[in-house]
């Protein structure tokens, strides 16, 4: 029997839904958060606007920073389910995603860090537990590198990191015969299939008409600005390698053992930047283990957070 996965549950919802894919996802997400004390917080940050979904009323603040996938609140549902009774959780929309906006055609990762810090400052949030995935892992790494006094603990899930060789993305481009931007932000069914194969250990089945709905209703949103963010990572490679230097905050590195996008071999190099870190590999998981194997990830988080606040 296959282990339960959040993605499998979502596929079942989509398979049973008579409405469009985006409507089914949004309805499920709305139902999930309606069962918890939730508020939407929008903070002007210069010309930008940062939004987060705030859940729970605990003393500790847990900040969740997503990658390039759509629907940040959906991506983090397993973590919110686990911790909304004990922590205040901020599910952040990075600039250019969800309800966060920027007038800039290109949003650099440094701008994401600055917007997050300014929004936390505006609400008097001094110290946080910070969790980042993929591109959000790089945002979180830079935040912890620049402001270690603000971070009580750090969790990086399959993060983009300064030791990652961008030429690996070139090999993926050659394999799929299309730019990496079109794999991570698919525009047709073939690039959607490529995105799923590079991201997920065991892709769930969707019929072609549902894939087309996903492309037309979800991945077309703000696509040009998001593609420019990916290109900016290449342009800023030297700056990222210099600035994302790590810190001595307690750190947990979680990696899908079969991640084809950011291979787990990089965990050893990254761990050297975080001397108080430990690494957990999640078997039978690709680039999004918190969605593919949520219970395994939650078990790792529970051990880690318990060590930060022993009873």
Instruction: Give helix then strand counts, H and E, for the chain.
Output: 15, 8
Domain ranges of the chain: 6-303
Residue 208: the pLDDT is: 83
157, 254 Cβ separation under 8 angstroms? yes
The DSSP element (H or E) to which 63 belongs, if any, is strand 61-65
Residue 6: the pLDDT is: 52
The CATH number for 6-303, chosen from 3.40.190.10, 3.40.710.10, 3.40.50.300, 3.40.50.1820, is 3.40.50.1820
For residue 39 the two structure tokens come to 């508020």
50, 116 Cβ separation under 8 angstroms? yes
Residue 110 φ then ψ, to 5°: -60, -35
Residue 311: the pLDDT is: 53
Residue numbers in the chain where pLDDT is lower than 70: 1-19, 310-311
Residue 244: the pLDDT is: 96
Cα gap 184→149, rounded to integer Å:
34
* C-alpha separations of 98 from 24, 48, 71, 95, 124 in Å: 17, 13, 7, 8, 23
The DSSP element (H or E) to which 16 belongs, if any, is helix 6-16
Q: What pTM was computed for the model?
A: 0.92
The residues, any chain, with a CB within 8 Å of residue 220's CB and separated by 6 or more, are: none
For residue 164 the two structure tokens come to 């990652």
Cα gap 94→112, rounded to integer Å:
7
* Antiparallel, parallel or unpaired: β 88-93 and 277-282: unpaired
Residue 299: the pLDDT is: 97
Cα gap 195→183, rounded to integer Å:
5
State the virtual CA torsion across 63, 68, 73, 78 in degrees, nearest 10.
-80
253, 271 Cβ separation under 8 angstroms? yes
For residue 134 the two structure tokens come to 């993929």
């Amino acid at each position: 029997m296959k282990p339960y996965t959040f993605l499998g549950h979502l596929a079942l919802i989509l398979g049973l839904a008579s409405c469009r894919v985006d409507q089914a996802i949004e309805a499920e997400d709305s139902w999930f958060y309606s069962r918890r004390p939730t508020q939407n917080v929008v903070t002007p940050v210069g010309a930008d606007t940062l939004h987060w979904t705030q859940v729970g009323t605990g003393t500790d603040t847990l900040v969740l920073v997503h990658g390039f996938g759509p629907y940040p609140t959906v991506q983090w549902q397993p973590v919110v389910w686990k911790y909304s009774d004990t922590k205040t959780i901020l599910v952040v929309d990075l600039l250019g995603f969800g309800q966060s906006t920027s007038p800039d055609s290109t949003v650099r990762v440094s701008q994401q860090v600055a917007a997050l810090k300014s929004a936390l400052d505006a609400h008097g949030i001094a110290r946080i537990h910070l969790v980042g995935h993929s591109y959000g892992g790089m945002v979180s790494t830079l935040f912890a590198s620049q402001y270690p006094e603000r971070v009580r603990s750090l969790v990086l899930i399959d993060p983009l990191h300064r030791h990652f060789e961008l030429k690996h993305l070139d090999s993926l481009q050659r394999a799929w015969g299309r730019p990496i931007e079109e794999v991570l932000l698919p525009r047709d069914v073939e690039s959607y299939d490529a995105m799923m194969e590079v991201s997920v250990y065991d892709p769930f089945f969707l019929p072609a008409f549902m894939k087309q709905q996903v492309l037309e209703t979800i991945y077309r949103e703000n696509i040009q600005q998001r593609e420019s963010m990916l290109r900016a990572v290449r342009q800023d490679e030297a700056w990222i390698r210099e600035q994302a230097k790590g810190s001595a905050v307690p750190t947990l590195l979680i990696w899908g053992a079969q991640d084809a996008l950011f291979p787990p071999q990089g965990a050893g190099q990254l761990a050297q930047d975080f001397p108080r870190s430990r690494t957990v590999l999640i078997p039978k998981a690709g680039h999004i283990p918190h969605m593919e194997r949520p219970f395994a990830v939650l078990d790792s988080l529970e051990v880690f957070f318990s060590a930060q606040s022993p009873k």
